[in-house]
Amino acid sequence: MNFTEKKTHYNILFIILTVILFLLIIFCAALGAADINFFKSMKILFSKLPFINILIDTSNIKASESLIVLNIRLPRILMSIIIGIGLSIVGCSFQAIFKNPMADPYILGISSGSALGATVGIILNFSFLSKFLNSVIGISFFAFLGGILTTLFVYNIARVGKKLPTNTLLLSGVTMSFLLSSIISILMLFNRNQLEDIYMWTMGSVSSASWQELKIVVPIILIGSLIIISLSKDLNIMLTGDSTAESLGVNVEKVKKIILITSSLIVASCVSVTGIIGFVGLIIPHITRLIVGPDHKILFPFSALFGAIFLTITDTLARTLINPSEIPVGVITALFGAPYFLYLLYQNKKKVL
């Protein structure tokens, strides 16, 4: 297959996946405790689109059905899409700069920092001294702040002058993750009344998604993702080795810093609104790489699409499997992700043997 044929093939595949995602939004918006069929869901969603809305007859749709689809299910579906995009893009970029197929968005301890911030926020929420403070700032802000501060701390520990050795960065992140997890355990031990809230937050959920949260996280994740995607050419060259990349004119340290800062903002934003949703940024880049190859110009957009589809499906399963209750989506992604991770390890072991 020559370059032109390959490009056409990828364009067609991208269009097909985009259509699948669009249909998935309508289908998932129809699923839930309230019985709303696919066509009603489609009418409700299309009635809000400019130019198309004049062709849609919504006379047979109840106000309560529109409310459920537009204000409860749709924000949750869109949040799943944007979080799936963010985690997949960051997972791809980290696997490139660390040259480690097992790297994921949480490898630098950002998730643990956010979890600690959220834990503090949850504890303060139940303290008579801090109810006003929490109502103004919110648990999400504490989580976001915790993730950013952790990144700054890890960065300053790892950097050597103007250079940022990836091995030192990786070790610093893992060490910080263990340290912060220990602090969270201590806080949970001394605040047993909030134990369930803290534990449920760390399992990851999109249940609290709202239009207000989407307005905050969507610009951060989309702009951050575009910045990382713009570095695709440099990341392709860096796969050959830092020394080779520098000899070819790539400012390796600058690229690492941009990706670290941008990825940290994306991950902190994701974790601040949904908690820790594991395995998305690990398995999606792997699956995508098997399908489209290692070229980041192609890998990034396809990973974003696959990540959006994957998290939308898993969150829909999380909220529909045991109606009217729900399972944290982090549990569902782990059920899919952990076996795949073990499969990767087994495949690598066979290569060694």
Q: Give the angle 303-308-312 at the CA atoms, nearest 5°.
A: 145
Question: Around Cβ 197, how many Cβ atoms within 10 Å?
Answer: 17
Compute the average pLDDT of residues 116-137: 63
What backbone torsions phi and psi does residue 209 show, to the nearest 5 degrees?
-60, 140
Compute the average pLDDT of residues 145-174: 87
Residue of 114, 177, 115, 120 whose CA lies nearest to 147: 114
Who wins on pLDDT, 51 or 131? 51
pLDDT band at 343 (very low <50, low <70, confident <90, very high): confident
Q: Is the pLDDT of residue 349 over 70?
A: no
Residue 163, beta-bridge partner list: 160
- Torsion sign across C-alpha atoms 101, 155, 108, 86: negative
Burial profile 308-322: b = 16 or more Cβ within 10 angstroms, e = fewer: bbbbbbbbbbbbeee
Which stretch of DSSP H or E encloses residue 132? helix 131-137
Question: Around Cβ 129, how many Cβ atoms within 10 Å?
Answer: 7
Compute the average pLDDT of residues 102-124: 87
**Separation of alpha carbons 66 and 280, rounded Å:** 31
pLDDT band at 242 (very low <50, low <70, confident <90, very high): confident
Q: What is the CA radius of gyration of the chain?
A: 21
Which stretch of DSSP H or E encloses residue 51? none
Compute the average pLDDT of residues 313-340: 88
Share of the chain above pLDDT 70, in %: 94
- Residue 124 belongs to domain spanning: 3-352
Residue given tokens 């249940």 in the structure block? 207
pLDDT band at 134 (very low <50, low <70, confident <90, very high): very low
Q: Concatenate the DSSP letters of all residues of 250-311 into one string.
A: --HHHHHHHHHHHHHHHHHHHHHHH----SHHHHHHHHHHHHH-S-HHHHHHHHHHHHHHHH
The pLDDT tens digits for 180-196 are 999 999 998 888 888 88
pLDDT band at 351 (very low <50, low <70, confident <90, very high): low
Which pair of structure tokens corresponds to residue 221? 């994740």
Is the overall model pTM greater than 0.75, yes or no? yes
Q: Is the pLDDT of residue 135 over 70?
A: no
CATH of the domain at 259: 1.10.3470.10
Q: Give the angle 302-307-312 at the CA atoms, nearest 5°.
A: 130
Q: Is the pLDDT of residue 293 over 70?
A: yes
The pLDDT tens digits for 31-88 are 888 878 888 888 888 888 888 878 887 778 888 888 999 999 999 999 999 999 999 9
pLDDT band at 286 (very low <50, low <70, confident <90, very high): confident
- DSSP letter at 71? I
Residue 325 burial class via C-beta count within 10 angstroms: exposed 0-12, middle 13-18, buried 19 and up: exposed
Please state, rounded to an integer, the average pLDDT across all residues of the chain: 87
pLDDT at residue number 131: 47
**Separation of alpha carbons 88 and 41, rounded Å:** 28
Residue 160, beta-bridge partner list: 163
Q: Concatenate the DSSP letters of all residues of 209-241 into one string.
A: --HHHHHHHHHHHHHHHHHHHTTHHHHHHHTT-
Q: How far apart are the first and last CA of the chain?
A: 32
Give me the number of domains the chain comprises. Answer: 1
Residue given tokens 């760390």 in the structure block? 202
